[in-house]
Amino acid sequence: MTSVQEEPPFDSTELRRALGAFATGVTVVTTGGPAGLYGVTANSFTSVSLEPPLVLVCLRRRGSGRALIAANGAFAVNILTADQEDLCRRFARADRGSAMFDGIEHRPGRTGSPILAGAAHVECRVAAVQAAGDHVVVVGHVLALAVDPEATPLLFHAGRFLAA
């Protein structure tokens, strides 16, 4: 991927503010397997393709998620409900450590990735990983899913949670 080296006419606060105007849902991206268990709050989740079924999520390049997901070869995207703000905050904590799933109801999915109760989940095999600046784009081929059509989603806008 090419990168533009020009000095931008804005700073990172302005960039965050502009990008934060795009309202999103909130997910916890999880992986489990020989490399270990991991979960991280992410709102960069996007659908990519229906045929074949592909999704993507962007993760910090320096975070441990990228390596664990690549080593396990699979991940799940758990879409949170409006009453799961606590999970959003918990999986965004920098000091969450290896006990991050303690006390949280979850079950292993088809790939071993932890599945949380929520609005929906998609479970994926890693299809591609692309470096992109300070993040990596992880593309997943969807192998399994479930959705609760009655669920109210957790929404995020301009750094705050929104009522649906």
Ligand X SMILES: Cc1cc2nc3c(=O)[nH]c(=O)nc-3n(C[C@H](O)[C@H](O)[C@H](O)COP(=O)(O)O)c2cc1C
* Residue 40: how many other CB atoms lie within 10 Å: 24
**Nearest-angstrom CA–CA distance, 8 and 109:** 43
Structure tokens at 133: 């600046």
Toward ligand X, which CB reaches closer, 5 or 13? 13
Closest CB to ligand X among residues 5, 94 = 94
26 contacts ligand X (rule: CB under 6 A): yes
Nearer to ligand X, 23 or 110 (CB): 23
* 30, 32, 40, 74: which one binds ligand X (CB under 6 A): 40
Span of 2-10, 58-66, 108-116, 119-127 interacting with ligand X by CB under 6 A: 58-66
Q: Is 37 in the site for ligand X (CB under 6 A)?
A: no
Contacting ligand X within 118-157 (CB under 6 A) = 156
By CB under 6 A, tell whether 63 contacts ligand X: yes
Per DSSP bridges, beta strands 24-25 and 54-60 are: unpaired
How, if at all, do strands 38-42 and 120-132 pair?
A: unpaired
Sequence-ordered alpha helix ranges (H) in the chain: 12-20, 65-72, 85-90
- DSSP assignment of 109-122, as one string? -TTS-EEESSSEEE
Residues forming the site for ligand X (CB under 6 A):
26, 40-44, 58-60, 63-65, 88, 92, 94, 156
